[in-house]
């Protein structure tokens, strides 16, 4: 038992450490995590659930609709007289003059030329009904059922559209952080190298080999480099927090990016085929689905010209009593009068002031606008793919050039330092070489990031970015 308790404690400690420890992600794992945790994705999933419920709701209109009602009325008495005329019942008033339909002569208790008042119900009444209707035919219902299913398909496409946009954001943020991390490492190396140069220069100054301006020049460069490092580190933290937000993580959580920039192989990435199946682009598929929905709207308007047929059925019971307590006396079956009927209700539209006609025209105009939008989308996809190919080619060329420049700058720094130590070079030459190297390093990693972004843009243009 003690061993079990100790094992449980160890497990809890391990779980606590895992929950509070760093979380490591490759680029694709970061995308997958975002697709599972970002609130935009969760809302898109809820939209799909809403669409499914809408389909069920529409389908339910074709099922029997059953309702029940119970009405109990009581007319409180304002007198003890049994005469209904003196009670608080709802009464009917008729003319009581000779020749009228309900004339009662004085010999039978009537009064000539005076209205007669009488009640047709008792002080208490009960009415209960159960009614059912069944849709037998309605053209709009059939079209609406199909439209609701198409709407569900649209919500699935919109979900994919959100996924693609989110994956693009996460990938760009992820690689931006990797690039800035490399820049920070280079800044540390440059600081270390420049600090060593600064110390060597101070030693030479003490021995009278150089002037103070040489020390000041290096100190200025060193201070600028320290300031740039602090700025880069703050921006790196901000970029990391942005990535956490995109992934659906808490900003105060720890995260580690384990993908490496050297995993990117520019030489293995080729431009895409300039032609594309437009259906591979989710934006195009969304427009096509919207076009289908508009077509169903036109069918629905035409269906409104057709008659609708509904089956009816009602069961009910009426009861009345002078005393309220007698309403619940079920042994007195004579007090309850059941009734029931079945029937069919046919509704035939005849004239609506041309409302459906003009509604149809409006929908047709909307369809034409959608067709124009589809053509424009096709042109936009062609342009985007062409532009993505050009940007990738330019980024690849620029990356090769910046890599060559970086190699040259490193060699220049090495040679200038050797010359300076041997007394055949100047301190200014070393400082300029260090500055050129730093610029070449920044240019190289900027061009590498541009290449990665160009590749992400190309994948999106081809409709190959995600990730279902």
| Chain mean pLDDT for the chain | 85
Instruction: Please list the residues that pair with 343 across neighbouring strands.
Output: 312
Strand 91-94 versus strand 23-25 pairing type? unpaired
pLDDT band at 82 (very low <50, low <70, confident <90, very high): low
The neighbouring-strand residues paired with 345 are 310
CATH entry 1.20.1600.10 includes domain 22-65+138-304+355-461:
yes
Q: Does residue 6 surpass a pLDDT of 70?
A: no
Rounded CA-CA distance 8/2 in Å is: 10
Q: Which strands form 308-321's sheet, in the order they lie side by side?
A: 65-74, 124-137, 308-321, 336-347
Domain regions of the chain by residue span: 22-65+138-304+355-461, 74-137+309-347
- Give SS3 for 164: helix
Could you give the dihedral angle defined by the CA atoms of residues 76, 81, 86 and 91, in that order, rounded to the nearest 10 degrees? 60
Question: Averaged over 323-351, what is the pLDDT?
Answer: 86
* Percent residues over pLDDT 70 in the chain: 90
CA 333 to chain centre: 61
pLDDT of residue 1: 39
Write down the pTM of the prediction: 0.77
Query: Tens of pLDDT along 266-289?
Result: 766 666 677 788 999 999 999 999
Residue 326: the pLDDT is: 80
Task: Answer yes or no: is pLDDT of 34 > 70.
Answer: yes
Q: Is 310 within 8 Å of 154 (Cβ atoms)? A: no
Tell me how crowded residue 274 is: count the other CB atoms within 10 A of its CB.
9
Choice between 431 and 241, residue whose per-residue pLDDT is larger: 241
């Amino acid at each position: 038992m003690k061993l079990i308790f100790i094992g449980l404690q160890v497990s809890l400690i391990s779980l606590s450490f895992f929950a509070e420890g760093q979380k490591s992600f490759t680029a694709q794992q970061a995308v997958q995590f975002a697709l599972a945790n970002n609130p935009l994705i969760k809302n898109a999933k809820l939209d799909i659930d809403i669409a499914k419920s809408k389909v069920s709701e529409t389908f339910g209109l074709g099922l029997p609709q059953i309702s029940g009602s119970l009405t109990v009325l009581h007319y409180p008495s304002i007198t003890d007289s049994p005469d209904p005329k003196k009670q608080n019942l709802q009464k009917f008033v008729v003319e009581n003059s000779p020749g009228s339909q309900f004339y009662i002569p004085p010999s039978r208790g009537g009064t000539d030329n005076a209205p007669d008042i009488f009640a047709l119900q008792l002080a208490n009444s009960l009415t209960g009904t159960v009614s059912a209707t069944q849709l037998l035919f309605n053209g709009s219902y059939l079209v609406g059922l199909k439209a609701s299913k198409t709407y569900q398909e649209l919500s699935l496409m919109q979900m994919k559209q959100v996924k693609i946009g989110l994956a693009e954001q996460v990938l760009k943020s992820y690689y931006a952080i990797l690039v800035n991390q490399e820049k920070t490492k280079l800044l540390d190396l440059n600081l270390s190298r420049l600090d060593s140069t600064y110390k060597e220069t101070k030693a030479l100054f003490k021995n009278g080999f150089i002037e103070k301006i040489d020390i000041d020049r290096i100190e200025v460069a060193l201070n600028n480099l320290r300031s740039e490092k602090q700025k880069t580190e703050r921006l790196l933290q901000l970029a990391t927090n942005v990535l956490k937000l995109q992934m659906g993580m808490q900003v105060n959580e720890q995260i580690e990016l384990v993908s490496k920039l050297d995993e990117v192989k520019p030489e293995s990435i080729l431009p895409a085929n300039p032609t594309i199946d437009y259906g591979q682009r989710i934006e195009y598929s969304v427009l096509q689905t919207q076009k289908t929905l508009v077509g169903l709207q036109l069918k629905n308007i035409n269906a409104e010209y057709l008659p609708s047929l509904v089956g009816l059925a009602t069961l009910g019971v009426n009861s009345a009593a002078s005393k309220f307590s007698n309403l619940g006396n079920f042994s007195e079956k004579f007090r309850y009068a059941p009734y029931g009927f079945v029937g069919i209700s046919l509704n035939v539209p005849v004239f609506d002031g041309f409302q459906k006609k003009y509604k149809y025209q409006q929908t047709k105009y909307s369809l034409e606008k959608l067709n124009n939008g589809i053509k424009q989308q096709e042109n936009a996809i062609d342009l985007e793919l062409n532009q993505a190919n050009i940007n990738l080619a330019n980024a690849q060329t620029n990356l090769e050039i910046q890599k060559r420049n970086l190699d040259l700058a490193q060699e220049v720094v090495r040679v200038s330092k050797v010359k300076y130590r041997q007394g055949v070079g100047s301190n200014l030459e070393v400082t300029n070489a260090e500055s050129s190297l730093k610029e070449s390093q920044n240019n190289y990693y900027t061009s590498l990031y541009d290449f990665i972004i160009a590749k992400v843009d190309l994948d999106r243009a081809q409709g190959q970015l995600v990730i279902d």
